[in-house]
Amino acid sequence: MSVYTRIAPVVEIRGAVKHYQAPEGHVVRALDGIDLSVGANEFVTLLGPSGCGKTTLLRTVSGFEQLDGGELLIQNKPMNNVPAHRRPVHTVFQSYALFPHMSVGDNVGYALEVQGVGKTERRQRIGEALELVGLEGLERRKPGQLSGGQQQRVALARALIDRPALLLLDEPLSALDRQLRQSMQRELKKLQHELGIAFVFVTHDQEEALTMSDRIVILNGGLIQQIGTPTEIYDRPANAFVAGFIGESNLFDVSVVAVNAGVAQLRSEQGDVLHVPATQLQVGQKLQAMLRPEQFQLDSVGGNSAALEGIIEQTLFVGKDFEVSLRTAHGMQVKAVIRDTGRHDLHRLQPGSSLQLRYALDGVHLLDEAKQ
């Protein structure tokens, strides 16, 4: 339970199932039993590979698709049989989906017009919504007379004008170039915070997910792999899929070969030994051990530490960091990112040299294979 959902969830999804009959004959399990609550003013991101069910989940919440099973509540009201236009939800799409023949003002005010809001009030609220997204004064333009970033802002203003309880955003920034995308990320996050509207945001971009979200939902094959804060997902991935999907990682198949004095020895399939704190480990247990490349250091890391030793196969200079590929005597490959290396240390990173990569014992994250 996050701090947000403990107060009052805006959306509750319980056991959501959506299966498609594919024209090729088989059934696609797009959503295979999804449980998710989103709290008021929470920014939740759906992240996962192409085809994992992100868009399907948004479409069932917005009402463009019906669930085959499970329950959907928005603000505590059952929504399964409520048509899309009666749900307190709007969607912003990657493609903007603006009406090309209508002015910016008419696009933004469309929902109010449908609701029968009078012209004077409409004009005032259109002005406010455009101000919110930094487009004041452009009411009369047509979408074709705006840049991509400006069109995306119009789509955002249109979705926010009647202050929905929930805004769904399906890869809204992916058509923008990197710089614009980063400034829109900051603006969106600020806007979300100020308006107090819950956002469910879809992206392919893990960096975007890590920087923007209160919580991230990792999906694969219509199933939730993990829900957690960005640091939980990054530091303590629930399984090998999440560990591999978010960030770079070294993932070793190991078994516990010895436990003494509070330290356990783990032996990799190749024969290398890793050391970890021995909490609740038993000899013979099979696990996966994860170490992020940036957890390695050349010298002492402070506290209880150990090292993996090997020959450097490759060193790449990437800005201020060095990416080092090392192979141990047993043949295990280890990726390390060495930060803040003084230039006097450079000779230690030459390919062909022998190197010790030190790590803190309590930084090793263990994945229990039996739980997967």
Ligand X SMILES: Nc1ncnc2c1ncn2[C@@H]1O[C@H](COP(=O)(O)OP(=O)(O)OP(=O)(O)O)[C@@H](O)[C@H]1O
- Interface contacts to ligand X, rule CB under 6 A: 20, 22, 28, 30, 48, 50-56, 204
> Closest CB to Mg ion belongs to which residue?
55
Nearer of residues 50 and 280 to Mg ion, judged by Cβ: 50
Dist CA 70 CA 46 (whole Å) = 19
Tokens of 215: 């919580």
Site string for Mg ion, 49-68 (x = CB under 5 A): ------x-------------
20 makes contact, choosing from ligand X, Mg ion, none, with CB < 5 to 8 Å by partner type, with: ligand X
Angle between helices 148-160 and 178-195 (to 10 degrees): 10
One-character DSSP codes across 7-20: H-EEEEEEEEEEEE
Residues 315 and 322: beta-carbon distance below 8 Å: yes
Report in angstroms how near the CB of residue 56 gets to ligand X at its nearest.
3
Nearer of residues 29 and 348 to ligand X, judged by Cβ: 29
282 makes contact, choosing from Mg ion, ligand X, none, with CB < 5 to 8 Å by partner type, with: none
Report in angstroms how near the CB of residue 58 gets to ligand X at its nearest.
8
Report in angstroms how near the CB of residue 73 gets to ligand X at its nearest.
21
50 makes contact, choosing from Mg ion, ligand X, none, with CB < 5 to 8 Å by partner type, with: ligand X
Nearer of residues 186 and 204 to ligand X, judged by Cβ: 204
Instruction: Residue 5: name the closest of 35, 49, 48 by CA.
Output: 35
> 98-125 in b/e burial notation, b at 16+ Cβ within 10 A?
beeeebbbbbbbbbbeeeeeeeeebeeb
Report in angstroms how near the CB of residue 19 gets to ligand X at its nearest.
9
Q: Which residue's entry shows tokens 């991230």?
A: 216
Residues 324 and 335: beta-carbon distance below 8 Å: yes
Nearer of residues 20 and 110 to Mg ion, judged by Cβ: 20
Which residues contribute to the site for Mg ion (CB under 5 A)? 55
